[in-house]
Amino acid sequence: MKRLVAAPFLLLHFAPRSPALALALASGRPRRGGSANPSTELVRKLKQTRDAQEVFRLLDDYDKDINAPVVATAMGKLRRFGKSREALRVFKRSKARGIALNVAAYNAAISASGRNWEGALALFDELQQRGLE
């Protein structure tokens, strides 16, 4: 991964509003949030996927890094690709693995339920019982 280092004279012309950011740029250190967090990288890659098979490949490749935001993003992508059943399978598999799912993951599961309003209602009740409103 290349890291660009700003020359001091550029900092004067394009001075960031934050002194901490200016110092980080001048020292060549990566900015906060620039770390290589695998789950953040996975969410970014999932958002760029072009088909359902790529979503499944990424989930398999990053199996140990799956968390609630990853599950929600993957389910949303699968639903957009017309794979609502698969999205619900990802949700159920994540729950079975003990991943602490968040409101976004439950919302994605409710959306993926489609016309199965009883299933959607059961998910909504579970969401309320867990206190994730």
For the stretch 100-126, pLDDT in tens is 999 999 999 999 998 888 999 999 999
- pLDDT confidence of 8, banded at 50, 70, 90? very low
CA distance 61 to 72: 17
Reported as a single tens digit per residue, the pLDDT across 70-110 is: 999 999 999 999 999 999 999 999 999 899 999 999 999 99
Q: For residues 118 and 2, give the distance between their C-alpha atoms in angstroms, rounded to a whole number.
A: 51
Closest CA to 71 of 114, 112, 27: 112
Here the tokens at position 44 are: 């970014």
Q: Taking 90 as the threshold, does the pLDDT of residue 26 lie above it?
A: no
In this predicted structure, what is the pLDDT of residue 18? Answer: 55
Task: Calculate ∠ Cα 64-70-81, nearest 5°.
Answer: 120
pLDDT at position 14, please? 47
The mean per-residue pLDDT over the stretch 66-73 comes to 91
Q: Percent of the chain at pLDDT above 70?
A: 72
CA-to-CA distance for 91 and 105, rounded, in angstroms? 7
Mean residue pLDDT of the chain comes to 79
Give the per-residue pLDDT at 31.
47
Radius of gyration of the chain from Cα atoms? 20
